Amino acid sequence: MNRLSFGWTLPAYSVLLYAFLYLPIVVIVLFAFDAKAIPGLPIDAFTTDWFSASLGDTRLVGSLLTSIRLALMAAVLSTALAMPAAMVLAWRPVRMKSLVLCLVLGPVVLPQLVLGLGLVVLFRAAPDLIGAPAIVLAHTTMTSSYATLMLYSRFLGFRRSYIEAAMNLGADEFTTFREVVLPLVAPSLIAVLLLAFTDAFGEFVVAWFLAGFTETLPIAIWTSLRQVISPKIYALSALVILVTLFVSVSAQVWILGQSRRECES
């Protein structure tokens, strides 16, 4: 610890900032219990009716299930694309590596709006794909960038001697992968899957452009935000937010613990 101490100001400020970050979340969860039809302060009566109402709303639940299904596909696809590529990038000499990295990371900095519109133009050539397939393809493009980046850094930190030891003892490339690489990177792989799922699940702009008649949860919420908002939306959002927080926090804590263990060994 250094002597440059700010007394109580730094912790106090940090508490305020965390409050700012979690205020909207608290408000949504709070209003999900508000008995009034149009939520607002003060909250006089609490109810859990909105939760059952939202889960009974077939359209809303349908969009939730659509989102889960599509995000699951995008997460699996992007991880499947990212993992072999990250391994090659981290472990093998690759010609024009910086070009490949630019290609892989481009979707991160590209405004989603522009990617979405570009895909709209592209899918004019294949109008049958508009809807669920186009959304999965687009989300895979976006999440595979993050996935590749995260797995790339994991594989960079992977001890090469584990692989050499396995091969030296008679394991071929595929056996080495199955017996040594996969079990050791499995936690990172799961974390990447979870984060890719979360990202694809919540993405709105690109999905909206390519949706056709498909309705994901963010699209359903967007549509309802343009009308009078039913508290059902807040109830469902509250549920989704809590699950999202749980998933993303546990995925990241997992990665953190993993890297810490790697440092110790």
By CB under 8 A, the residues from 139 to 178 that bind another protein are 140-141, 144, 148, 159, 161-162, 164-173, 175-176
Q: Tell whether residue 27 is a contact of another protein (CB under 8 A).
A: yes
Q: Tell whether residue 3 is a contact of another protein (CB under 8 A).
A: yes
Shortest gap between Cβ of 72 and another protein (angstroms)?
16
Q: How far, in Å, CA of 121 to CA of 123, rounded?
A: 6
Q: Could you give the C-alpha distances from 81 to 98, 100, 151, 201, in angstroms and in order? A: 18, 14, 11, 18
- Of 237, 224, 246, 245, the closest CA to residue 33 belongs to 237
Q: Tell whether residue 183 is a contact of another protein (CB under 8 A).
A: yes
**Which residue in 21, 37, 228, 263 binds another protein (CB under 8 A)?**
21
Tokens 């493009």 correspond to what residue?
A: 141
Q: How far, in Å, CA of 201 to CA of 229, rounded?
A: 21
Q: How far, in Å, CA of 141 to CA of 109, rounded?
A: 13
**Which residue in 37, 45, 92, 228 binds another protein (CB under 8 A)?**
92
Question: Coil, strand or helix: which one is 34?
Answer: strand
Q: What are phi and psi of 63, to 5 degrees?
A: -65, -35
**Which residue in 55, 76, 107, 212 binds another protein (CB under 8 A)?**
107
**Helix, strand, coil tally for the chain in percent (to 5):** 80, 0, 20
C-beta of residue 135 within 8 angstroms of C-beta of residue 207:
yes
**Which residue in 53, 68, 72, 180 binds another protein (CB under 8 A)?**
180
Q: Which residues in 194-253 contact another protein (CB under 8 A)?
A: 195, 198-199, 201-205, 209, 217-218, 221-222, 225, 229, 233-234, 237, 240-241, 244-245, 247-249, 252-253
Q: Tell whether residue 45 is a contact of another protein (CB under 8 A).
A: no
Q: Tell whether residue 117 is a contact of another protein (CB under 8 A).
A: yes
Shortest gap between Cβ of 62 and another protein (angstroms)?
17
Q: Tell whether residue 18 is a contact of another protein (CB under 8 A).
A: yes
What is the pattern of x (binds another protein, CB under 8 A) and - over residues 55-74?
--------------------
Which H or E run includes 72? helix 58-91
